């Protein structure tokens, strides 16, 4: 339905691409209207704090994030403005690069990061970039929103070293003795492969369960975390910003919720269907570009920010944007015009040839293989990418989208499977690829058409009747034998990567929100085996 001063009617939006939705919204919320509502919002705020300075851009709406190379010249007392929502991410080389991002509620002067090897010696000071987002009132119930995201790129770091850092601005110095409690730490990737743990999930949102998962993840002491999309659900429609459901303020809540983990564990995200936000840019990722700083080594980091790769020790990780190939949710289907898929083929080939890399993990949002009653499997992912995963012998694929945990047997030739029981072991060069749906990060849970089956509660079935999405958003029924583990609960993956010995291993464990183990298996690959 459409209501006064809202976005796009749902029936119309379902037939529109992201670019068409963006054009519709920008035309409907004209410059004159945004200026009027923005001025009203600024007048209300002025009663509490006076803002000024042209660099702030408060009078100008931003289609994409507005990049400000120097701080906004406001009249706010910086000592009263506390940074929040800190989150780390690797650059393209985790041994020497770290990206530090955070948020401030108001424009501040000269934001920066201090970094050093000891908390009392933060000798290096790096200027931060400001990325501002303006969101008009897309419905009568929402105010205009101004958000200020700050980003600092740290290069030239030493491998395998723990650094201390603090974020600040004029009036707020993290090196001040009274501010030492605001300091954080991070560790760069080691120069040589060593044993480490990473964690992964998707479909987080803002909830008690999301917060509980975060704290349990912190207890694993991971070297990094993979987030497979649907990050905070500011757009609850999942089709791009289609009506009055989009609330940009939820990002503030999400980043505050996640800070206790993401301020010390690099939080490597990709894009889900709920992360397409049509107001900011034609591809829906203007908001993503404002809030996150990710490796810029994908096919086009300015239009596909969720597509990149990095290497940590003997593990290569590839992030993909499945909105580009999805049959189920086609709002952004084909937006890279095949560039992402061509890059994937080339990049997987490069990683398999690279010295020192034993394992390749790929993560993205929409599932290649899942049996839930909600989204099940996306045939677009199967058609575009599964042949490439098999060609390059990918070791593990991690998805979200379905709000449960499900793990397949080893799959090859697009459907044939080899059993990988709970506690079992598999060799991708021989058996095929295991696909893990880790969508139980904190959003409302889905259900399966058959009973759960997990550690201590196994219910092995001959097959599961399910479906996959085909072109034209059609559901095609199928009967599958590859669904090995199913758990309807909040959970995440913890993966221990061990480079030692003649056969490197990845031990994959799934932990419930309670800390209970619900699945575990081992992926073993003969060292330096090449695909034939």
The domain spans of the chain are 10-184, 192-229+307-524
Query: Would you say domain 10-184 falls under CATH 2.60.40.380?
Result: yes
- Structural contact between residues 166 and 120, judged by C-beta atoms closer than 8 angstroms: no
Out of 13-17, 44-48, 312-316, the most confident range is 312-316
Alpha-carbon distance of 510 to 491, in angstroms, equals 7
Q: How far is CA 111 from CA 25, 149, 371, in A?
A: 32, 10, 48
Alpha-carbon distance of 183 to 102, in angstroms, equals 13
Give residue 286's Cα distance to chain centre.
15
Give residue 373's Cα distance to chain centre.
24
Going 248 to 252 to 258 to 261, the CA torsion angle's sign is: positive
E strand segments, 195-307: 196-201, 224-227, 267-269
Alpha-carbon distance of 93 to 278, in angstroms, equals 31
- Residue-level pLDDT at 25: 72
The model's pLDDT over 153-191, given as tens digits with 9 standing for 90+, comes to 999 999 999 999 999 999 999 999 989 889 999 999 999
- Whole-model pTM over 0.85: yes
Is the confidence at residue 84, as pLDDT, over 80? yes
Mean pLDDT (the chain, rounded): 88
- Percent of the chain scoring above 70 in pLDDT: 86
- Residue-level pLDDT at 243: 55
Is the confidence at residue 460, as pLDDT, over 90? no
Domain covering 192-229+307-524, topology? Purple Acid Phosphatase; chain A, domain 2 (3.60.21)
Q: Nearest to residue 106, comparing CAs of 65, 189, 49, 144?
A: 49
| CA neighbours closer than 13 Å in the CB half-sphere of residue 64 | 12
- Residue-level pLDDT at 75: 66
- Residue-level pLDDT at 501: 73
Is the confidence at residue 74, as pLDDT, over 70? no
Give residue 3's Cα distance to chain centre.
32
- Structural contact between residues 94 and 108, judged by C-beta atoms closer than 8 angstroms: no
- Structural contact between residues 363 and 398, judged by C-beta atoms closer than 8 angstroms: yes
Q: What DSSP string runs through 339-391?
A: HHHHHHHHHHHHHHHSTT--EEEEE-SS-SS---SSS-EEHHHHHHTHHHHHH
67: number of Cβ within 10 Å: 13
Give residue 39's Cα distance to chain centre.
34
Q: How far is CA 412 from CA 124, 270, 319, 378, 455, in A?
A: 50, 25, 21, 17, 25
- Residue-level pLDDT at 337: 96
- Residue-level pLDDT at 10: 61
CB-based burial label for 80 (10 Å; 0-12, 13-18, 19+)? exposed
- Residue-level pLDDT at 29: 67
The model's pLDDT over 422-452, given as tens digits with 9 standing for 90+, comes to 999 999 999 999 999 999 999 999 999 999 9
The model's pLDDT over 112-139, given as tens digits with 9 standing for 90+, comes to 999 999 999 998 999 999 999 999 887 7
Alpha-carbon distance of 407 to 518, in angstroms, equals 11
The model's pLDDT over 335-354, given as tens digits with 9 standing for 90+, comes to 999 999 999 999 999 999 99
Alpha-carbon distance of 316 to 186, in angstroms, equals 20
């Amino acid at each position: 339905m459409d209501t006064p001063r809202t976005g796009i009617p749902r029936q119309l939006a379902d037939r529109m691409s992201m670019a068409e939705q963006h054009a519709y919204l920008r035309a409907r919320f004209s410059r004159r209207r945004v200026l009027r509502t923005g001025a009203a919002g600024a007048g209300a705020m002025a009663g509490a704090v006076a803002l000024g300075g042209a660099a702030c851009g408060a009078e100008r709406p931003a289609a994409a994030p507005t990049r400000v190379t120097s701080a906004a010249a406001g009249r706010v007392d910086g000592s009263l403005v506390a940074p929040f929502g800190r989150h780390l991410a690797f650059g393209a080389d985790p041994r020497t690069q770290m990206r530090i991002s955070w948020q401030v509620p108001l424009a501040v002067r000269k934001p920066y990061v201090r970094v050093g090897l000891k908390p009392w010696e933060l000798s290096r000071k790096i200027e931060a970039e400001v990325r501002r987002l303006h969101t008009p009132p897309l419905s009568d119930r929402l105010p205009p929103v101004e958000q200020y995201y700050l980003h600092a790129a740290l290069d030239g770091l030493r491998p395998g070293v723990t650094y201390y850092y603090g974020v600040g601005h004029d009036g707020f110095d993290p090196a001040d003795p009274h501010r030492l409690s605001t300091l954080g730490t991070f560790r760069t990737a080691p120069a040589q492969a060593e044993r480490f743990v990473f964690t992964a999930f998707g479909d987080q949102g803002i909830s008690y369960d999301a917060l509980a998962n975060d704290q349990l993840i912190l207890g694993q002491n991971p070297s990094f975390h993979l987030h497979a999309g649907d990050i905070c659900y500011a757009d609850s429609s999942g089709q791009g910003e289609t009506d009055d459901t989009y609330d940009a303020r939820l990002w503030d809540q999400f980043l505050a919720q996640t800070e206790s983990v993401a301020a010390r564990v690099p939080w490597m995200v990709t894009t889900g269907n709920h992360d397409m936000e049509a107001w900011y840019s034609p591809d829906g990722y203007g908001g993503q570009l404002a809030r996150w700083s990710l490796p810029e080594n994908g096919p086009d980091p300015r239009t596909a920010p969720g597509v990149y790769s990095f290497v940590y020790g003997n593990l290569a990780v590839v992030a993909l944007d499945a909105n580009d190939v999805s049959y189920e949710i086609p709002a952004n289907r084909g937006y890279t015009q095949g560039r992402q898929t061509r890059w994937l083929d080339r990049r997987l080939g490069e990683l398999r040839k690279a010295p020192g890399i034993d394992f390749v993990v790929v993560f993205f949002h929409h599932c290649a293989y899942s049996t839930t009653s909600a989204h099940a499997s996306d045939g677009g992912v199967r058609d575009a990418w599964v042949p490439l995963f098999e060609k390059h012998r990918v070791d593990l694929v991690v998805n979200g989208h379905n709000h449960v945990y499900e793990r397949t047997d080893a799959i090859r030739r697009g459907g044939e499977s080899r059993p990988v029981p709970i506690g079992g072991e598999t060799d991708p060069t021989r058996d095929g690829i295991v696909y893990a749906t880790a969508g139980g990060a904190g959003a409302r849970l889905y259900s399966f058409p058959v009973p759960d089956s997990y550690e201590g509660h196994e219910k092995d079935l001959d097959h599961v009747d399910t479906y996959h999405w085909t072109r034209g958003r059609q559901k095609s029924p199928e009967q599958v034998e590859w669904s090995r583990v199913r758990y309807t609960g909040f959970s995440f993956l913890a993966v221990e990567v061990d480079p030692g010995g003649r056969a490197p291993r990845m031990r994959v464990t799934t932990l419930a929100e309670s800390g209970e183990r619900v699945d575990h298996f081992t992926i073993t690959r003969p060292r330096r085996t090449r695909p034939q």
